[in-house]
Structure 1
Amino acid sequence: MTTNLTLAGIVAQKHTFILPLDYSKPEGETINVFARELVSAENQHKNLPFLVYFQGGPGFGAVRPAANDGWIKRALQEFRVLLLDQRGTGLSSPISAASLSHLNAAQQAQYLSHFRADNIINDAEAIRRQLTDNQTWSILGQSFGGFCVLKYLNDAPEGLKEAYITGGIPSLTRTADDVYHATYQRVLAKNADFFKRFSDAQALLNTLAQYITDHEVTLATGERLTVEMLQLLGVNIGMEHGPESIYYLIEQALITTANGTIVNPLFLTQFSQYLDYNTNPLFALLHESIYCQQNASNWSAHRVRQHYPEFNYSAGKPFLFTGEMIYPWMFEQFANLIPLKTAANAIAQKQDWPALYQPKKLTNNKVPVAAAIYSEDMYVEMRYSLETVAQVANLNYWLTSEYEHNGIRMDGERIFDKLIAINRGSQLR
């Protein structure tokens, strides 16, 4: 099924594909996978090659463009862009507690096991064969999308002409525990920078933490606000403009009224807009599994946190934000995660995750790959990315401190242009 619509300077076509849930059982249960095809108005009748975009996450639908700008503007000069809603996200059979309510917890966990990068790549390959008459195409992955790019290079390089990665080169071999040890240290550095930049933020957060400890404060989404939830705002401080937005939020958290100090209703409404756990439960359910290869995560971030007790807040201690970590208590505190608690525990204990990468195979990679690695990235450890660069043939990179993790959102046209120049062997501009 296809539907056309026109955006600002872009002609967009909507595609929905019916694909197997489990590719080992192609005649079994199916899911819908949605993709939006973009082409510039002036190129709409040209036979241009495709560039497929893999969104960060896991668990988030592809960007919904409003105008011909950023990396999309650069891409549309020579490509048709395909914005893929990865399975379980956006309009691709989206995952929620409601959508899984007909299954028991064990069935939910089994169903969710089909939503990792391996099947995202299976979907992409099925779509490529349908949409391009089996022609090769180019791919671009941001953050977790970069993990998908490496998986594509590993599993189906014959479908690729070239590949691009921004802020998302995974380790090929390291465990989730390795990743979180590195990440906690990165988050500590981002905290130090945050509290240095905003000199009254520590006092504001200590006062707010004490208030919500002493009073039952209910968010607009119905949950009780806890100190642990407040710490989760730190997932934003590794983004460009993220620290500013969080500071301005906490700056107005408490207000004085005729009846005394209360939590600002504005804060209670905006707080949940900075966290995605209720709206994108797949992110919480599968985040740790993206690092699992024939081993269980066993709530890695929660266990590793015990090596960094400074994150365990109590009155009189400095307040610290946490980062992109998933904790088991989240499935007791967030309304839309509570029904999935048992399934989440089963996923955390799952030991038979298939291997994601074959390092020996990637040492013979023939597909040109250009990557932007951000040296200050809070979410993807630079050292591990550089380890992978040394293991993957034909992967050239640009290491820069100019951008945070969301660089492609902030300056995508320039970043993608540089990566194209790298892949084409041109001088960087």
Structure 2
Amino acid sequence: MSVSAKLPNASGVKTLLPQMIAQKLSFILPLDYQDPAKGTIEVFARSLVHKDKQHQDLPWLVYFQGGPGFAAQRPVSHSGWIKRALAEYRVLLLDQRGTGLSTPVNATSLAHLDDVAKADYLTHFRADNIIRDAEAIRAILSPETPWTILGQSFGGFCVLRYLSVAAHGLKEAYITGGIPPIGRSADEVYRATFKRVLQKNRQFHQRFPDAASLLAALQQHLLHHQVLLPSGQRLTPPMLQLLGIHLGMEDGPEAVYYLIEQALLSTPSGERINPLFVERFGQMLDYNTNPLFSVLHEAIYCEMQPSNWAAHRIRAEYPQFDAAPPAPLLLTGEMIFPWMFDCFEHLKPLKGCAELLAQKTDWPRLYDTAALATNTVPVASAIYSEDMFVEMEYSLETAKQVANLKYWLTSEYEHNGIRMDGERILDRLIAINRGTSLR
């Protein structure tokens, strides 16, 4: 396998950030490691080091972003988990293949392919190849030394894939809100998460007593008036329900409430939609901007079986989400439905390949349970008991299957805890892994 690396800034110029020095790295890697003849892709990563440690020989910590289909965070300040990590590591923020500054995946980049070719291409963007990329990059940046990894949400799924097939490349591993449900089908996952979403809806309405009436008024307006989003697509009540993805985040319920309370305006000519609402609604959903999330989300749960639009089928078991007025409009969560590929402008061209991927029966296995049962890499994980996206019971089931994994079960945080209090969370996980007291 031929792997190369290049610096986009040929002059070696580095970016200066508060207390940090950042550098852009770009790697040319195989699309398909089993068949290099299929061509290459570019995978981008950004390295960070504390300005006072730039000349020190520090170990690496690689960050795997959640998603799938989202780029690594863009560092702004010396704070959060990055601050804690930079106390002893160089940090590598990996734009997983298809995201950020890596070779993009979107309707435009795939426009030259038919549906079958698009689907075949996208099969190479799951955790298995993300970890192959990581090991190829390690062979360049840290060939003699295993490195440390941190995975948030789907990034935690990547961590367990790494432990399954390339544990020799790892010194330590950390997971926040992302232990995969090994042995559980996509149907089981969504059956559990729909229950969680119902719970989050109840909590939302308890906190904001007028939310039900606000949503009802907005639903009626959408049923009787054409409301167009900036992209030109019509906003429908099922699309409105997708805002529920924020109910599982710290500060998410507040963001949803403050949006819907200003959705409608009373004018002399009648009730009108607030332009501010229309603009911000689009900004709160990522389906147009991060299509890989929609196309491959259910596939992250698949091993030798199709997803067959699991969330869509399981939703039928919870008729509360489709009840007609005057029943309350309930918001949904991190679910992908086939009708979304008819609604979101940048998903429409991917509808055919999404259907093929939903029917794919031969997804390779992602986890080696025998390897995990004999794992020797220290692993520490934060499991959030109130997590709307990753079912706690399934995380605990998997944790029992992974040797040398210790976990911290807490109700203090929602799914995005690492963004809200990352310095404390990572510090605690490091202490758990090393058997030391908190700093």
Quickly name the TM-score band, shorter chain normalised: over 0.9
Aligned twin of 1:268: 278
Deviation at 1:427, TM superposition (A): 2.7
Deviation at 1:397, TM superposition (A): 0.4
Deviation at 1:222, TM superposition (A): 1.1
Give the alignment partner of residue 29 of structure 1, picking from 39, 47, 52: 39
What is the CA–CA distance in structure 1 between the aligned matches of 2:31 and 2:144, rounded to whole Å?
21
Task: Using structure 2 for the length normalisation, give the TM-score.
Answer: 0.97
- Comparing 80-89 with 254-263, greater Cα deviation is found at 254-263
Deviation at 1:26, TM superposition (A): 2.7
What is the CA–CA distance in structure 2 between the aligned matches of 1:370 and 1:385, rounded to whole Å?
13
1:424 equivalent in alignment to 2:434: yes
Aligned twin of 1:106: 116
Aligned twin of 1:222: 232
Give the alignment partner of residue 348 of structure 2, picking from 338, 354, 374: 338
Deviation at 1:428, TM superposition (A): 4.3
Is the contact between residue 129 and residue 135 of structure 1 (CA under 8 Å) also seen in structure 2? Answer: no
Amino acid at match of 1:413: E
Aligned twin of 1:118: 128
1:138 equivalent in alignment to 2:139: no
Amino acid at match of 2:20: I
1:355 equivalent in alignment to 2:365: yes
What is the CA–CA distance in structure 2 between the aligned matches of 1:243 and 1:313, rounded to whole Å?
22
Q: How does 1:243-322 map to 2 (within 5 A)?
A: 243-322=253-332
Deviations 1:156-205 (A, max 9, x none): 00000000000000111110001000000000000000000000000000
Deviation at 1:27, TM superposition (A): 4.3
Is the contact between residue 51 and residue 82 of structure 1 (CA under 8 Å) also seen in structure 2? Answer: yes
Deviation at 1:134, TM superposition (A): 3.5
Amino acid at match of 2:233: E
Amino acid at match of 1:50: W
Amino acid at match of 2:334: E
Deviation at 1:360, TM superposition (A): 1.8
Deviation at 1:135, TM superposition (A): 1.7
What is the CA–CA distance in structure 2 between the aligned matches of 1:356 and 1:299, rounded to whole Å?
20
Is the contact between residue 295 and residue 353 of structure 1 (CA under 8 Å) also seen in structure 2? Answer: yes
Give the alignment partner of residue 19 of structure 1, picking from 29, 37, 50: 29
Give the alignment partner of residue 76 of structure 1, picking from 83, 86, 91: 86
Give the alignment partner of residue 99 of structure 2, picking from 89, 92, 99: 89
Amino acid at match of 1:68: H
What is the CA–CA distance in structure 1 between the aligned matches of 2:323 and 2:161, rounded to whole Å?
38
Deviations 1:105-131 (A, max 9, x none): 000000000000000000000000011
What is the CA–CA distance in structure 2 between the aligned matches of 1:94 and 1:189, rounded to whole Å?
36
Give the alignment partner of residue 408 of structure 2, picking from 398, 402, 406: 398
Deviations 1:220-257 (A, max 9, x none): 22110000000000000100000000000000000012
Cα distance, 1:221–1:313 mapped onto 2, change above 3 Å: farther
Amino acid at match of 1:403: Y
What is the CA–CA distance in structure 2 between the aligned matches of 1:350 and 1:220, rounded to whole Å?
34
Deviations 1:376-428 (A, max 9, x none): 00000000000011110000000000000000000000000000001111134
Amino acid at match of 1:78: E
SS at 1:13 equivalent: strand
What is the CA–CA distance in structure 2 between the aligned matches of 1:294 and 1:133, rounded to whole Å?
33
Is the contact between residue 16 and residue 33 of structure 1 (CA under 8 Å) also seen in structure 2? Answer: yes
Task: Using structure 1 for the length normalisation, give the TM-score.
Answer: 0.99
Aligned twin of 2:56: 46
SS at 2:149 equivalent: strand
Amino acid at match of 2:195: Q
Aligned twin of 1:373: 383
Report % sequence identity: 63
Aligned residues: 429
1:186 equivalent in alignment to 2:199: no
Is the contact between residue 161 and residue 367 of structure 1 (CA under 8 Å) also seen in structure 2? Answer: yes
Deviation at 1:259, TM superposition (A): 2.0
What is the CA–CA distance in structure 2 between the aligned matches of 1:413 and 1:338, rounded to whole Å?
40
What is the CA–CA distance in structure 1 between the aligned matches of 2:228 and 2:283, rounded to whole Å?
15
Gaps of 5+ in 2: 1-5
Is the contact between residue 254 and residue 262 of structure 1 (CA under 8 Å) also seen in structure 2? Answer: yes
Aligned-residue Cα RMSD (Å) equals 0.8
SS at 2:36 equivalent: coil
SS at 2:266 equivalent: strand
SS at 1:194 equivalent: helix
Deviations 1:323-367 (A, max 9, x none): 000000000000000011000000000000001112122100010
What is the CA–CA distance in structure 2 between the aligned matches of 1:376 and 1:133, rounded to whole Å?
40
Amino acid at match of 2:415: H
1:55 equivalent in alignment to 2:65: yes
What is the CA–CA distance in structure 1 between the aligned matches of 2:74 and 2:268, rounded to whole Å?
44
Aligned twin of 1:171: 181
What is the CA–CA distance in structure 1 between the aligned matches of 2:272 and 2:231, rounded to whole Å?
18
Is the contact between residue 163 and residue 371 of structure 2 (CA under 8 Å) also seen in structure 1? Answer: no
Deviation at 1:313, TM superposition (A): 3.4
Is the contact between residue 48 and residue 79 of structure 1 (CA under 8 Å) also seen in structure 2? Answer: yes
- Comparing 21-30 with 172-181, greater Cα deviation is found at 21-30
Aligned twin of 2:3: none
What is the CA–CA distance in structure 1 between the aligned matches of 2:327 and 2:200, rounded to whole Å?
18
